[in-house]
Every structure is written in structure tokens, then in C-alpha cells.
Homo-oligomer: A and B are copies of this chain.
């Protein structure tokens, strides 16, 4: 009976697992050096938790299930609601600011597409309790710190930055009513992904005042803060957003990452919960979806029954990133090649016990070691040693009657006879 895997999921054979580990280990390393602590939540939560603030697109794509008591659950499509729940639960005892990261496995019940699967991993970093654009800058710095670390340059990827606050102030300036903002954000977020005519049509359907629609398009296409205010006018809230963005750009310069960053007012983010700075990272060829996105979400903890506390964060999935690294040739040389320190070959069946004993001793001393399950011809065992990327092959053969091993360097082919006891003593301090 042969059963296939479910479409949109992945089997991680050792070569694919090495890529996943390379990506995830890098995320963890960069998070830790930037001062984030790791957390995680359950794979499923009560369904209603994801209906609070996740945006319609996410809610439509939930994998739902029930527990034995018939309560509705869902596989998590993002970890931010869990983060809000966990922080709210311990809000009084957690030292502030809270700088946490996580690498959750997430799920979407949608048709799989390139770079968008039903099951994926996502790096999340969040800073809670710092009401200062400095925290937004630190989130962007940490993102770039990782991208640089894996070999991407400012010619490969761009951080596109805008402000949801600026957008909402601008939209209110030109007369868009408050109640229409959320659905308009969802549409504007698709600006770069839709054909221009389709987008224009959808915009006209939502914004019937053609003058306002023109101003929105001018806003989206602006390349500087002054073009933005030309399009939508000014006022206290526009001004404070502009000031905040200028300050952010200045901080990114001090942090040494401004060469990666552009102001780009068409960045909106689909999720309903953003309230301030928003950003996405895109590859320069513009052929893939966004590599990551993030921003400030000052009301989310309150919406989840907690206090009003400011927060900012970023999420980066592994699918688009993996495709990009593969395309740029940045994976092969960086994946760990050496799998074994030693392969123990046994040519004479009489010494099989000794080969087993030696292998176990090497392992207990912390070395990565394998052995041949069958004593036999050396050639076959050397091939096994080579297939398993062994650094050295220990050969237990005829000379073992004189208490000697042959140690073969698998890279150079050089081989030397070593006294068995002397060899063992190398691992005594373990």
C-alpha cells in the first residue's frame, strides 16, 4: 500500500534537512547575538484566537480541527497571536523590554505556489515595551545582519520601508473614512502583485471619488517624503510620521545598514494590526515574493486582553529565502561537508569486536564515528568511508596482531601505522 505525502508539504531527506538546518541555525545565531531570547508556543490554538486580528486572508486559510470535547482549534498560520497571548499571561513578571525570537512551524490551507507552501518555517523577532523608533531600527538591523551573514549584498536584496501611520494619516487627509481603511490596506498591499488595470479597477470599486484615487496612486508611487506630502497634504499626524521615518533612516545609517534600505510608500503589509513603521525585504530582480516583512503593532497586546504596550517585529519564511539562496549559489559551499571524523574499517573478521569497541570509544569521547557492519574487502569499506565524508579511515587489518592500526587521511590518501594503545590514549581525556 503506497501513500503519497500531502501536497504542499515537504519531506526533508538529509540533503534538504541540511539546508533547513543551515537556514534555521543562522536565524538562531543572529537572534542570539542581537540579544533576543528564544520562545515557542503550541502548534495549535483555539480557532477564535486567530480570528481576532489576523486579517481575512489568513483566517480563510486556516487548517482547523477539533479536540475530543468538540472545541474548534486551528494550526497556527503565524505566531504573533501566540506571542501576544503568552506575553499578556505573564505581563507583570516579565522583565521589560521583552526581546524574543522564535522559529515556529506554520500552516496555510491554500493552493501551494512557488515560495508559498502549506507548511513552512518562519523566523520571528519582536521587541515589546520600547516606544521608540530605535526598536524598529534594531529589528531592521537584525534582519540585515542575518541577510549579510548568509552572503546577500545590497545588490541582491533591498529593505523597503514605509509607515502605516503615514498612510492612514494621508488617507484620512484625502477623505477616506476610518471604516474603509482595513480593506483598503489589504488592497494596497497587493499593488505590486497585481496587473495595473486590475489594481485600478479594484481601487475605483473601493474609492469612488476619482480625485482621491489619483492621490492614492501618487502616494503609492512617491519616491521621497516630500512627494508624499505633495500628494496627500500635511497635518500633525503626517508630520510626526515623516519625522519618525527620517529618524529611522538616520538610525539605520548609524547602525551601518542604510545602504540596504529604501523609502518605499507602496509597502503596506496586509495584516490589520500594524500601526507604525512597516517594511519588507525584496530581492532586486523582483521575481520572487517578499523575503520578509514586519513593522510596529502597538495595539495588538491590548486587543488580546492585555495592557496597551508598544511592540515591533519581523517575520521571515524559509521558502522564498531557500529559493533565493539556491539561485544565488549561496548554499553549496556553506553546507557542512564533513559528516564523520572517523570511519572504522575491519578487514579481518576475527577483529570485528575490536572495530566495534573502538568505534564506541571514539563516539563516547565525542567524535563522530561509524564502522562497517560487515568485515570484508578494504575497497568496499573505503568507498563507504568516502561516501560518508569521513575525514580519516581507521583500518583494522593484518597489522592488528602486532597491536597496530592503519590511519588513512581520506583527503590526501596518506596512510600511517599507529600503535593501538597510543591511538586510544589520544581520546582518554574525552
Chain A residues at the B interface, C-beta cutoff of 8 Å:
1-7, 9-14, 17-18, 20-21, 32-35, 37-46, 48-49, 52, 63-65, 67-68, 71, 73, 75, 82, 85-86, 88-90, 95, 97, 99-100, 105, 107, 109-111, 119, 130, 132, 134-135, 141, 145, 148, 251, 254-256, 303-305, 339-340, 353, 356-357, 360-361, 363-364, 366-370, 373, 387-388
Q: Which of B11, B339, B363 interacts with A41 by CB under 8 Å?
A: B11
Q: Is the CB of A42 within 8 A of B119?
A: yes
Report the minimum CB–CB distance from A79 to chain B (whole Å).
11
CA distance A35 to B5 in the complex (A): 27
CA distance A61 to B109 in the complex (A): 23
Report the minimum CB–CB distance from A261 to chain B (whole Å).
14
Q: Is the CB of B68 within 8 A of A134?
A: no
Query: Which residues from B are CB-within-8-Å of A64?
Result: 65
Report the minimum CB–CB distance from A346 to chain B (whole Å).
12
Q: Is the CB of B3 within 8 A of A304?
A: yes
Q: Is the CB of A35 within 8 A of B369?
A: yes
Query: Which residues from B are CB-within-8-Å of A13?
Result: 39, 86, 90
CA distance A65 to B6 in the complex (A): 12
Q: Is the CB of B17 within 8 A of A387?
A: no
Q: Which of B11, B105, B130, B387 interacts with A86 by CB under 8 Å?
A: B11
Q: Is the CB of B256 within 8 A of A357?
A: yes
Q: List 11 A-B contacts (CB under 8 A).
A: A1-B303, A6-B44, A9-B41, A9-B43, A11-B39, A13-B86, A14-B100, A33-B363, A37-B339, A67-B109, A141-B360
Q: Is the CB of B368 within 8 A of A33?
A: yes
Closest to A38 in B: B17
Closest to A95 in B: B387
Q: Is the CB of A12 within 8 A of B41?
A: yes
CA distance A251 to B97 in the complex (A): 55
